[in-house]
Amino acid sequence: MTDTADVVIVGGGVVGASAAYHLAAAGAGSVLVLERADELGTGATGACAGGFRHQFSSRVNILLSLESVRMILRFSEEHGLPLDVAQDGYLFLVRSEESWREFLAAVDLQRSLGVEVDVLSPKEAAELIPGINEDGMVGATFGPKDGIADPSGLTQGYATLARRAGVEIRTRAEVLRVDSRGGRVTGVSTPGGPVSASVVVNAAGPWAGPLAATAGVDLPVDPIPRQVVVTGPFPGAPDRKTLVIDADTAFYFHREGPGVLMGMGGKDERPSFDTRVDDRFIAEEVLPMAVQVFPPLEEADLRYRWCGLYEMSPDRQPVIGVAPGVEGFYLANGFSGHGFQHAPIVGKLLAELIVEGAARTVDVSSLGLERFVEGRVVPEHHVV
Ligand SMILES: Cc1cc2nc3c(=O)[nH]c(=O)nc-3n(C[C@H](O)[C@H](O)[C@H](O)COP(=O)(O)OP(=O)(O)OC[C@H]3O[C@@H](n4cnc5c(N)ncnc54)[C@H](O)[C@@H]3O)c2cc1C
C-alpha cells in the first residue's frame, strides 16, 4: 500500500480511467486511482446509454467531440483491446419552429468546424427510421458520423491500459476529504489514513460537488436521476442502431439487442442521489411519449429498467481545469449527460494540463469553474 503518489484520481468511472491512462502515458509519475465502489464504472458510467455525437450547439463541445469520437473509433486498433462501436448516426427530430431555427444555426456551426451533418425533411427522417411519427415535425438533423459505443468496454479498456502503464487502481477505497494547506492541495484523507499527493483529480461524477466542498470549493454540479428502460423484441423495432431524439422532449431511443433502449428527461427534475427506479414516471411520462414518438413501441414489453445520475452543471457544459484557490486540485466534472463520449479527450487534456501546464489539443480555457463567478457562460442547448 502506497501512502503517497504524484497524482491521486478520485473516482473510477470512465473519466477517471481515461485520466489515469493518459496521465501515466504522459509521464505524470506515480498515479493512484481511488474508487469507493467494489468495481470500476458503477456510477454514471454504468447507467449510460453509450451515445457519441458531434451535434452540439456550442463550439467547445463540437471541438471536444471531433477529437474524442476519433479516439473512440480508433480505440481497438490503437490499443489492441476490444470495444463495441456502431456508427449508425444520431437523428434529432424537431417539432417546433423555435427549436428548428436553433438547430439550423447549430448545423451551420457544426459544418464550419468540419462536421458532416444532414438536414432532413420529416419524410426523409421517417425513411431512415421507419415507424417514427412525422406529425408536427418541422425537420430533422442527422449526423452520420455519430453513434453508440460500450461504456463499460471503454472504462475497462482505459483501466487495463492504465495498469499496464503502472497505475495503481484501488477499489473499496473511499476518499473522505481532499486536503489542502495554504492554497495548495496536499493529498486526500481515506478511512485507512492520508495519501499525500501534489495533484488530486476530482473525477467523482455526480458526487463531485460534495467532494469539492471538502476542499472549500463550490462546484455547482447537481446529481439528476434519469430513468432508462429496455424492451424485448417487437414488430417494427428499428434495424439500425441510430440514436433517435425527440429534441423538444429529450425522449430518446436506440436499438438494443432485439428491442430498444429508451429514456427521457423530466420537466421538474430535482437534484437527488436517489437511484431507485421510478415506475410512476416510466408509466405516466416515458411510455406515453415513447408511443407518441415511435408508435411501434406500443407492442413492446419492458425487460429491464434502471436509474442513473446525470451530473448537471448550470450551463450544461463540463467544468475542466484547476479549482480556483486550490493549486493542484483539478476538476473534470459536470458533463451534463455527455461525459462518456468526451471522456477520452478529457483524460488527454487533463494530462496536458497537469504535465505540460496547458491543454493543447482543445482550448478548454472557457470551461474553468471561474466562468460562473465571472459571468462567462455559454450554455449548451443540445442536452439529451
Ligand atoms: C441514464 C444515463 C444515460 C447517459 N447517456 C449518455 C450517453 O448516451 N452519452 C454520453 O456521452 N454520456 C451519457 N451519460 C452521461 C455519462 O454516463 C457520464 O457523463 C459519465 O459516465 C461520467 O463519468 P465519470 O467517470 O465522471 O462519473 P462516474 O461514472 O459516476 O464515476 C465517478 C466515480 O467516482 C466514485 N466516487 C465518488 N465519490 C467518491 C469518493 N469520495 N471516493 C471514492 N470514489 C468516489 C463513484 O463511486 C463513481 O464510480 C448518461 C448518463 C446517464 C445517467
Tens of pLDDT, residue by residue over 15-27, are 999 999 999 999 9
Rounded Cα gap, residues 295 and 288, in angstroms = 10
Helices 14-25, 151-164: inter-axial angle, 10-degree rounding: 30
Residue 179, pLDDT score: 98
Rounded Cα gap, residues 17 and 153, in angstroms = 11
Residue 7, pLDDT score: 98
Give the closest residue to 264 by CA, choosing from 241, 242, 287, 243: 287
CA 380 to chain centre: 14
Contacts of 139 (CB under 8 A, 6+ apart): 94, 100, 103, 119, 120, 121, 122, 125
Residue 73, pLDDT score: 98
Residue 268, pLDDT score: 83
What spacing in Å lies between the alpha carbon of 47 and ligand 1's midpoint?
8
Ligand 1, residue 46: give the atom nearest the CA. 29
Residue 240, pLDDT score: 94
Residue 222, pLDDT score: 98
Which burial class, exposed, middle or buried, applies to 228 when counting CB atoms under 10 A from its CB (0-12, 13-18, 19+)? Answer: buried
What spacing in Å lies between the alpha carbon of 35 and ligand 1's midpoint?
12
Rounded Cα gap, residues 375 and 315, in angstroms = 11
Residue 252, pLDDT score: 97
**From start to end of 191-301, where are the E strands?**
193-196, 199-202, 222-231, 243-246, 251-256, 259-263
User: Is the pTM above the cut of 0.85?
Assistant: yes
Rounded Cα gap, residues 276 and 210, in angstroms = 21
Q: Which residues line ligand 1 (CB under 6 A)?
A: 10-16, 34-37, 42-45, 47-51, 174-175, 203-207, 211, 226, 228, 263, 308-311, 335, 337-341
Cell, residue 127: 425513411
Q: Which CATH superfamily is domain 90-144+222-312 in?
A: D-Amino Acid Oxidase, subunit A, domain 2 (3.30.9.10)
For the chain, the domains span 7-48+151-220+315-374, 90-144+222-312
Residue 346, pLDDT score: 98
Residue 338, pLDDT score: 96
| From the candidate CATH numbers 3.10.290.10, 3.40.50.620, 3.50.50.60, 3.40.50.150, the one assigned to the domain spanning 7-48+151-220+315-374 | 3.50.50.60
Identify which of 33, 189, 207 to mutate to test ligand 1's pocket (most ligand atoms within 8 A of the CB). Answer: 207
Q: What is the mean pLDDT of the chain?
A: 97
Give the closest residue to 251 by CA, choosing from 270, 264, 260, 235: 264
Ligand 1, residue 340: give the atom nearest the CA. 11
How many residues are there in the chain?
A: 384
Listed as ranges, residues in the chain with pLDDT below 70 are 1-2
pLDDT in tens, 85-113: 999 999 999 999 999 999 999 999 999 99
What spacing in Å lies between the alpha carbon of 86 and ligand 1's midpoint?
21
Sheet containing 251-256: order of strands: 118-120, 139-143, 90-94, 243-246, 251-256, 259-263, 222-231, 302-312
What spacing in Å lies between the alpha carbon of 328 and ligand 1's midpoint?
22
